[in-house]
Amino acid sequence: MLLLFGSRETGGMSNSKKTTKTWFQDGESGGAPNRESGRLGVRDRSPGRSRSLRLVAASLAGLVGIGAASFGAVAAQANTVAVLASSVSVLSENLASAQGLSRSLADSTIEPTALSASATSNASASATSNASASAASKAVSQQAAASKYATASKQTIVSKHSASSKQASSLRQIGKSKAAQKRDLKATIQTLVDNGYPGALAAKTDKDGNTVGATAGKGNLATGEAPPLDGEVRIGSNTKTFVAVVIMKMVEEGKVKLDEPIETYLPGLIKGQGVDGKKITVRQLLQHTSGLPEIMLGMPDFFAMRNDYLSPRDVLDMALTRPAQFAPGAKFTYTNTNYIVLGLLAERVGKRPVAEQIEAKIIKPLGLKHTYMPGPGEKAFRGKHPHGYHTRDNKPGKLEDITEADPSWAWAAGSMISTPSELNKFMQSIFDGSLLNQASIAEMKKSVPMGDEGDAYGLGLIGHKLSCGVAWGHGGTIPGSQTDNAVGPDGAAAVIATTAIPATNAKDTAAEEAGGKRLGLQALDKALCGK
């Protein structure tokens, strides 16, 4: 039985929005890298120490504007401005040659930090005069020589901002360079290709929105071309998280209550053998504890139905011909039917198609360009994408192309398309307050155990136990595509996508049957934890 599920196939931050900066793998097919046009760099604009000090002293005089009458304040401010003077001294040493600078930055990533608030405040309080400029320059130089900051680390570099901002800011070296991160990510997903997957795509986004991406293997087995970098993929059950966010926004607006029976919103619809909508709550649907029967049971071969359109009501009616799995709230069993019902709930309460609500509440506010729910009858991708592959019997065997297919049967449970970088941005935005308030985030993390692996299911979220702590995401499985993804303990997010599902991969099936985590989850752990 195939489930649109990201963890395993089983029955059983501040309120500001981040701008994603993308550092994709150079030299890979599928389009040019998308680099941020104004990214800070460090260039040697000072041929000598003395000239650098004169320039900085003059600019400090203009910035600080110390009047002749306030010369005595220079000594009090010396500790603050000495940092800049000392940093400039270090600059002239570190930037002796462009070649040397290149080598020093080859294995480091730079992160901007703001000027001292106290320096800015003190500067604004002083008057400007040409006479005081010379005095200030001399005082700064003398104080810098005596200051404890005169021996500051040579990893501190002073640079200029872009033309729009002429204030200096300090840059400090942290972590691995983007090139090193790309190499690590590519090596991680290459193991998936080495273990039988046709192709793989990945993206990792740090807590500040900086993204690196990589691909491996073949994006088209017929032509041999590589997967497109950050290409569109079917994200399967990650769709559930989008729907859950829409429902939680309705909760915030007072339109839906989590512990209200679904009968309140969809009267007379949810009924069948052992099924009673008066006893099933919205929370139980979100958390897979409703006991509703699974829609996937009895579905024909995916190749046979790839061109078929099924309406949400058609899918629900098919599921409700079977009896309930258990009494509502009795246990957890992952069931796609729950999110078909939640999609209908969103449309009844929101009075608009669920795809439109996802676009209005999530996609447009986040500026996502390649994330969407296919429309009725839409079988092809809208943007660049790898081909997806599947087997006729959903078991290890001959892979066949199933790229173009109608995903209507999955609808609100698993039909959406996105890219690795955009899926990262969405997942991070759930937890940083961009989409939901803190009360909603806390509700989504209230979870129940999923099984032996130690994972837990919240409200449209899965908590994975990784080697570095708990990571929250979801993941998705749909013929032709598997995504494993989460936001780690440090706020970084990662997506590992393959162009076939684990059930069709003999090595992955064997690894899971032996009691280990799937290869995709192992890769996710390495991407987020470095292990």
Would you say residue 29 lies in a domain?
A: yes
In a shared domain, residues 31 and 60: no
Residue 5 within a domain: no
**Pick the catalytic residue: 46, 92, 132, 237?**
237
What pLDDT, in 10s, does the model give residues 461-470? Answer: 999 999 999 9
404 in any annotated domain: yes
Containing structural domain, residue 189: 22-36+181-529
Whether residue 234 sits in one domain with residue 361? yes
Contact by Cβ (8 Å): 439, 222? no
Q: Considering the entire predicted model, what is its pTM?
A: 0.71
293 and 236 part of one domain = yes
- Single out the residue of 201, 229, 237 nearest to residue 527, CA to CA: 201
3-state SS assignment for residue 179: helix
Report if residue 54 sits inside a domain.
Answer: yes
Q: What is the CATH number of the domain that holds 409?
A: 3.40.710.10
Q: Are the CB atoms for 346 and 250 separated by under 8 Å? A: yes
The Cα 282–Cα 277 span in angstroms is: 10
The answer as to whether 9 is a domain residue is no
How many domains does the chain fold into? 2
- Final residue of a structural domain among 129, 160, 191: 160
- Of the three residues 160, 195, 211, the one that is the final residue of a domain is 160
pLDDT at residue 411 tops 70: yes
Q: Are 372 and 359 in contact (CB under 8 A)?
A: yes
Residues 496 and 348 grouped into a single domain: yes
Residue 237 annotated in active site? yes
- The answer to whether residues 228 and 267 belong to one domain is yes
Are 332 and 366 contained in the same domain?
A: yes
Q: What percent of the chain has pLDDT over 90?
A: 63
Mean residue pLDDT across the chain: 76
What is the per-residue pLDDT for 77? 40
Count of Cβ atoms closer than 10 Å to residue 427 Cβ = 23
Residues 70 and 32 in one domain: no
Shared domain for 397 and 496, answered yes or no, is yes
Domain boundary among 110, 125, 160: 160
| Structure letter (DSSP) for residue 361 | I
Q: Specify whether 113 is located in the same domain as 237.
A: no
Nearest to 84 by CA among 155, 157, 135: 157
Q: Do the domain assignments include residue 231?
A: yes
What average pLDDT does range 246-263 have in this prediction?
A: 98
For residue 122, what pLDDT is reported?
Answer: 36
Instruction: Answer yes or no: is 522 within a domain.
Output: yes
* Same-domain check for residues 242 and 282: yes
Distance from C-alpha of 240 to C-alpha of 474, rounded to nearest angstrom? 8
Residues 246, 130 within the same domain: no
pLDDT digit string (tens) for 418-459? 999 999 999 999 999 999 999 999 999 999 999 867 899 999
Distance between CA atoms of residues 215 and 231, nearest Å: 9
Same domain, 523 and 493: yes
Lowest pLDDT segment from 125-134, 254-263, 324-333, 396-405 = 125-134
Instruction: Look at residue 173 and tell me if it is in a domain.
Output: no
Token pair for residue 496?
A: 């590992």
